[in-house]
Amino acid sequence: MATSKEYGLGEFDFPRGWFMIGTSADATRTPAPIRYFGKDLVIYRGESGKAYVVDAYCPHMGAHLAKNSTSYIVRDGEHVEGESIRCPFHGWRFGTDGACNHIPYSDFIPKAAKLATYPVIERAGIVWMWHDPEGLEPDVELANFGGHYGEPGWVEWKIDYMGDLGSHGIEIVDNMADFGHFVPIHGATDWQYFANEFMGGHLHQYYSAGHRTLTANPEDALVLDTWYEGPGFLQSEMAGTFDSFIMIANTPIEDGVSRCWHALMVKVHDGSRETTREDREMALAYQEGSRLAFAQDVEIWANKRACINPLAIPKDGPYAKVRLWYRQFYNPRDKAPEIQDRVNGLHVTLDKRPGQKVA
Ligand code: FES
Ligand SMILES: [Fe+2]
Phi then psi dihedrals of residue 321, to 5 deg: -70, -40
Tell me which ligand sits closest to the C-alpha of residue 68: 1
Distance 81 CA to ligand 2 centre (A): 45
Output the pLDDT for position 219.
67
Rounded to whole angstroms, how far apart are CA atoms 179 and 44? 41
Rounded to whole angstroms, how far apart are CA atoms 22 and 128? 7
DSSP 8-class letter at 316: G
Distance 297 CA to ligand 2 centre (A): 5
Rounded to whole angstroms, how far apart are CA atoms 158 and 146? 16
Output the pLDDT for position 96.
97
Q: In order of start, what are the domains of the chain with their CATH numbers?
A: 17-131 (2.102.10.10), 146-351 (3.90.380.10)
Distance 24 CA to ligand 1 centre (A): 28
Long-range contacts of 294-299 (CB under 8 A, 24+ apart): 294/162, 294/248, 294/262, 295/162, 296/185, 296/186, 296/213, 297/172, 297/175, 297/181, 297/185, 298/162, 298/163, 298/165, 298/260
Mutate to test the pocket of ligand 1, among 54, 90, 94, 101 (most ligand atoms within 8 A of CB): 90
Tell me which ligand sits closest to the C-alpha of residue 105: 1
Nearest in space to 261 (alpha carbons), one of 275, 274, 251 = 251
Mutate to test the pocket of ligand 1, among 55, 57, 61 (most ligand atoms within 8 A of CB): 61
Output the pLDDT for position 220.
73
Which residue, judged by its Cα, is nearest atom 1 of ligand 1?
A: 61
Mutate to test the pocket of ligand 1, among 64, 72, 74, 92 (most ligand atoms within 8 A of CB): 92
Say how many CA atoms lie within 13 Å of 28 toward its Cβ. 7
Rounded to whole angstroms, how far apart are CA atoms 210 and 218? 6
Output the pLDDT for position 242.
82
- Ligand 1 atom closest to the Cα of residue 91 is 3
Pocket of ligand 1 (CB under 6 A): 58, 60-63, 87, 89-90, 92
- Ligand 1 atom closest to the Cα of residue 62 is 1
Mutate to test the pocket of ligand 1, among 55, 60, 71, 105 (most ligand atoms within 8 A of CB): 60
Distance 249 CA to ligand 2 centre (A): 13
Distance 137 CA to ligand 2 centre (A): 32
Q: Walk along the chain (359 residues) and give the pLDDT tens digit of each residue.
A: 899 999 999 999 999 999 999 999 999 999 999 999 999 999 999 999 999 999 999 999 999 999 999 999 999 999 999 999 999 999 999 999 999 999 999 999 999 999 999 999 999 999 999 999 999 999 999 999 999 999 999 999 999 999 999 999 999 999 999 999 999 998 888 899 999 999 999 999 999 988 777 776 766 788 899 999 999 999 999 887 789 999 999 999 999 999 999 999 999 999 999 999 999 999 999 999 999 999 999 999 999 999 999 999 989 999 999 999 999 999 999 999 999 999 999 999 999 988 765 55
* Dihedral sign (CA 87, 91, 95, 99): negative
CA 277 to mean position of chain CA atoms: 29
Beta carbons within 8 Å of 181's beta carbon, 6+ residues apart: 175, 297, 300
Neighbour tally for 29: CB within 10 Å: 12
